[in-house]
Structure 1
Amino acid sequence: MNRLLTILFAWLLLITSVFAQKNTGVWDVFAFGAKGDGKTMDTRSIQTAIDQCHGAGGGKVYLHNGQFLSGTIYLKSHVTLEVEAGATLLGSNQAADYPDQASEYPTYDENPLTSKSFIYAENARNITIEGRGTIDGRGSEIDKRGLNDPYLRPSFKYRPRIIHLRGCENVQIKGVTLQNSASWVQTYQSCRNLVIDGITVDSRENKDVDNPNREHAVRHRNTDGMDLVDCEFVRVTNCFITSGDDGICIKSFSPDKASRNITITNCLISSGASGIKIGTETAGRFEDIVVQNCTVFDTWGDGLAIMTVDGAQIKRVTISGISLRNIKRAGIFIRLNTRNKKYGNSTVVNKPALQDILITDVQGSRLAALGCSITGLAEYPLENVVLRNLNFEFDGGITDSQPMVVPEKTDAYPVGTMFGQILPAYGFYVRHVKNISFDQVQLRFTNEDQRPALVFDDVDQVVIDHFTAQSSTKTPALIRMLNTRNQLITNSRPSTDIPVFVKN
């Protein structure tokens, strides 16, 4: 009788545990041997929980009440990885714990291997990373043995990203804090239906934006806050990003793919390079991109940047409701040139275009004396650019009013300072553009500046309406037009006394 009761009790426990797991749909990593002590490698325990969750049809893998030390973990379809408030998923500080992965997708360089990654998934569906906890890449501690110079680009492949998802569909990243990455913080390539909401990125090596030597004051690890590569149907909302390199980047590695149907809303961004940027990697198409209600501040590079340099066609970009503060390069930088870099095994370079750009309701203060630029090439002019309701204050302080020769630099790396440390205009320098309008734009400077507010060179169809700008009595003209055709200026005036309003 005792033996029978023992058997019945054992069956009851088994049945109870099976139904409990099925009902909750939660795979607690402690149940798979995780220690959560920040010292013991928990990679196998976390991965086993993910594998079993995936094998059962999906559910939640749960990290709580501990620091879970791990190397690369592979997220799989229908799995949610939840890092609870107070818990940390802690990256190993050894590069060997992040293996390279063979992939069908092109990479930043010609090497067919992916970059290393802390959390990786490829061709998965319905995956989520969420919670109020922290994912720490320990980038400042990553072992770089064998590297002669950690600042050189070849070292990039040794530095793991925190999140790298490729070819995934129905992805949600919500609530988590991503900190101290060794490379790009998070990369999403060829993903569809991607939601990134309410996350915090804290991965800025040099937090002093006024340090003029930011790249060598501390190790510079190219820690882009977020990279969207050839992704479609993307919603980025309510994020706070402080990054060592570009804040939010939209890119393309594939000439036959597109980054399109993307919205970025209600984000705060401070970066060691550009704040919000399309580029630099631009092989395919960029279409229907909306950026609104964002603040970009304390940024060492350009505030807002749109560029095609590798053959991309960029069409229908709308930027509105932006605040720019303390921008060390160009507040707005728009550029088309022909660097024509190739990615992966591709040998194709498309014919570039940059058109239908609408930038409205932007305020900017403490903008660099450099000025802003909107430039194409003579054979590939920008088309249909509207700047409306801008209120910009520049540092100014340039007392040389002599005309400047601006090089074309058709294949140079695009950045606000590519033409020099200052531009011919303290406000906007515009070259090789067809159909551009400045509507209700106000420009001024903190320190006296003798350059024109606007300079146009080889521009066709210019409309300036309700334009107001500060100037100096030593300025040759408030607006300078060179080789410019079909211009219309109405309802515009200087805000200070000047000898000449417009000069050809």
Structure 2
Amino acid sequence: MTLKNLSKFWLILLSGLMMACGANQTMEQESDPWEQLPEILSQIIAPEFPDRDFNILDYGAKADGLTNASAAIKAAIEACAESGGGRVIVPEGDFATGPIYIKSNVNLHLVKGARLLFSTNPEDYLPNVFTRWEGVELMNYSPLIYAFEETNIAVTGDGTLDGQANETNWWPWKGKKEYGWKEGDPHQEDRDKRHALFQMAEDNVPVSERIFGDGFFLRPQFVQPYGCKNVLIQGVTIVNSPMWILNPVLCENVTIDGVSIISHGPNSDGCDPESSKNVWIKNTFFDTGDDCIAIKSGRNADGRRINVPSENIVIQNCKMADGHGGVVIGSEISGGVRNVFAENSEMNSPNLDRVLRIKTSSMRGGLIENIYMRNIEVGQVAEQVIRVNMFYEDSGAYVPRVRNIRVENLTVQNGGKVGVLLEGYESSPVENITLKNVEIKSVKENYRFSNTKNIRFENVRINGEEIKLPKE
């Protein structure tokens, strides 16, 4: 082959490769991410339990709302687990209890009219257990309902879990007067409390030496399965939580179905999947004092140490009332998040701040990608419809990345202050954001962007006008 022919050969080959790459990129951009959903859902199989019942009345519980039923509930759970599994029945009536530990193959089942009234005495939640608190591992008070490295567990039924938290207990530990705190009272923001925990994590202090609990005022979560597989929370009503409400950590195959969550205390996030995979949240009602759903993966150095993202999170047919955001990602997000699908849901409240919110920072770091929403009906929100904020709280050396967000078929009757607010870094812009078939009414400001890349609006109408973005 002559030199001239050889040159032609390489030019043709190079052109072909470039065309192939371009075609592949186009196919990737135009592919429907929702086609992944059936495969993800096929992996989320709710646990099943043997047809055996263990009624807590048979183990000494009394339905008077006063007698401590903790020992009876524990005995019923142990008997159920030792027999190979089944249902632990909480019958109609009020039962006072301390923390409940669920073992493998046990379904804690509350019949209609049953109420578990959880103690508000912090001493009842000792000894400390291995847990995560705001994204950092430590030894702290037991969550109200807790499981550690168990398989096939559930809390089901038509009854109520009542944490009994209010302005006289748990909530004042936040250190805010609107939650009952008084000047001079101790609280979590004292330098040797919450901040000490975060500093221990930055200093890589072993978790076994991060001993908190009594005297440190770090409120427990309500329901926390930790490192568990095949988890089901179904049907129950959960009210008055000390802090985060449903918080699966490092779990796999979690189903939350038909739950009602009502709690207006500080940090009353409704559902916080954290470093968890294959989580299906459906048919659930949220009315909260913080985020309705907040997807997390660990905080700062501890999140990077563990380095497990939350992935394959599916949200369907939910209703959100009060809350800081309907679907939120962050801020404890250092391990990253990917593949979030939210669809066919309703949001509406003057006390709901946002529809979709991503909050992170250069102290958190992490990669947030592949976030998809469709078929969302919104009455009103107070702040923004969509907000991506890379400057939430402290700054550091770990610039986050946020990319590949697609929102379609979204209607909002009252969009609050700003329709779409995107804030990235010059070195790490918010990128690949698509809004399609979106209508936002009654919003003060259409949109505001800083440091963004590849933002696409397709049939987006704000305050009655179709929005055409300037070319980048």
TM tier, smaller = 0.7 to 0.9
Q: How does 1:69-468 map to 2 (within 5 A)?
A: 69-99=96-126, 101-103=128-130, 106-108=132-134, 112-140=138-166, 143-144=169-170, 149=175, 153-154=188-189, 157-204=217-264, 220-253=265-298, 254-255=303-304, 256-298=307-349, 299-309=351-361, 310-337=364-391, 352-396=400-444, 426-444=445-463, 468=466
C-alpha displacement at 1:187, in angstroms?
Answer: 1.0
Q: CA deviation at 1:29?
A: 0.4
Aligned pairs for 1:6-21 (under 5 A) are: none
For the residues of structure 1 that align with 2:51 and 2:421, how far apart are their CA atoms? 56
Structure 1 pair 337–101 and aligned structure 2 pair: CA distance change class (3 A): same
C-alpha separation between the residues in 2 aligned to 1:338 and 1:147?
Answer: 23
C-alpha contact (below 8 Å) 2:370/2:404 kept by paired residues:
yes
The answer (yes or no) to whether the contact 1:307–1:336 under 8 Å persists in 2 is yes
* 3-state DSSP of counterpart to 1:159: coil
Identify the range of structure 1 (46-55 vs 113-122) with the bigger mean alpha-carbon deviation. 113-122
Query: What residue identity is the alignment partner of 2:279?
Result: V
Give the equivalent residue in structure 1 for 2:20.
Answer: none
- More helix by proportion, 1 or 2? 2
Q: Could you say if the C-alpha distance between residues 390 and 371 of structure 1 is closer, same or farther in structure 2, counting changes exceeding 3 Å?
A: closer
Residue type of the partner of 2:69?
A: D
State how far apart, in whole Å, the 1-side matches of 2:288 and 2:453 are: 35
Over 3 Å counting, the alpha-carbon distance change for 1:337 and 1:238 in structure 2 is same
Q: What is the alpha-carbon distance in structure 2 between the residues aligned to residue 114 and residue 66 of structure 1?
A: 31
Could you report, residue by residue, the CA deviation over 1:415-439 in whole angstroms, capped at 9, with x for unpaired residues?
A: xxxxxxxxxxx11111211111110
Distance 1:237 1:272, change over 3 A: closer
Alpha carbon RMSD of aligned pairs, Å?
A: 2.6
Q: Which has the higher strand share?
A: 1
What one-letter code is carried by the residue in structure 2 that aligns with 1:324?
V
Q: Report what 1:7 is aligned to.
A: none
Equivalent residues, number = 381
Partner AA of 1:268 in structure 2: K
CA contact (8 A) 2:117 2:163 kept: yes
Conserved in 2, the CA contact under 8 Å of 1:93 and 1:142? Answer: no
Identity %: 28
* Kept in 2: contact 1:133–1:176 (CA 8 A): yes
What is the CA–CA distance in structure 1 between the aligned matches of 2:72 and 2:278, rounded to whole Å?
34
The higher radius of gyration belongs to 1
Regions of 4+ moved over 6 Å: none
User: Cα distance, 1:148 vs. partner?
Assistant: 9.4
SS in 2 for 1:188: coil
| In structure 2, C-alpha distance between the alignment counterparts of 1:322 and 1:35, rounded to whole Å | 45
Q: How far has the Cα of 1:339 moved from its partner?
A: 5.5
Aligned AA (2:76): A
- Contact preservation (8 Å) 1:390, 1:440: yes
CA contact (8 A) 2:54 2:80 kept: yes
Cα distance in structure 1, aligned partners of 2:174 and 2:460? 50
Where do 5+ consecutive residues of structure 1 fail to align?
A: 1-22, 205-219, 343-348, 397-425, 446-466, 470-477, 488-504
- In the TM superposition, what is the alpha-carbon distance from 1:72 to its structure 2 partner? 0.5
Give the match for residue 37 of structure 1.
64
Matched-pair contact (CA < 8 Å) for 2:165–2:240: yes
The 8 Å contact of residues 173 and 219 in structure 2, kept in 1 or not, is answered as no
Give 1:165 shift.
1.3
Change in CA separation of 1:142 and 1:41 when aligned onto 2, cut-off 3 Å: farther
Check the 8 A contact 1:38/1:90 in 2, yes or no: yes
| AA at the equivalent of 2:219 | R
- For residue 300 of structure 1, report the CA deviation from its aligned partner: 3.7
The aligned counterpart of 1:500 is: none
* Kept after mapping to 1: 8 A contact 2:418/2:447: no
Counterpart-to-counterpart distance in 1, 2:401 and 2:115: 45
The separation in 1 between residues aligned to 2:360 and 2:218, in whole angstroms, is 28
Cα pair distance change 1:158/1:337, threshold 3 Å: closer
Distance 1:62 1:336 in 2: 46
Structure 2 spans left out of the alignment, 5+ residues: 1-49, 178-186, 195-216
- Distance in structure 1 (CA, Å) of the matches to 2:261 and 2:173: 27
1:257 offset after TM fit, Å? 0.4
Q: Which one is further off, 313-322 or 291-300?
A: 291-300
**Hey, what's the Cα distance between the residues in 2 that align with 1:223 and 1:148?**
11
Are the counterparts in 2 of residues 95 and 143 from structure 1 also a CA contact under 8 Å? no
Q: Aligned partners of 2:148 and 2:285: how far apart in 1?
A: 26
CA distance in 2, matches of 1:81, 1:282: 31
- Larger RCO: Structure 1 or Structure 2 (Cα < 8 Å, ≥ 6 residues apart)? 2
Cα deviation for residue 149 of structure 1 reads: 3.4
State the Cα distance separating 1:134 from its structure 2 match: 0.7
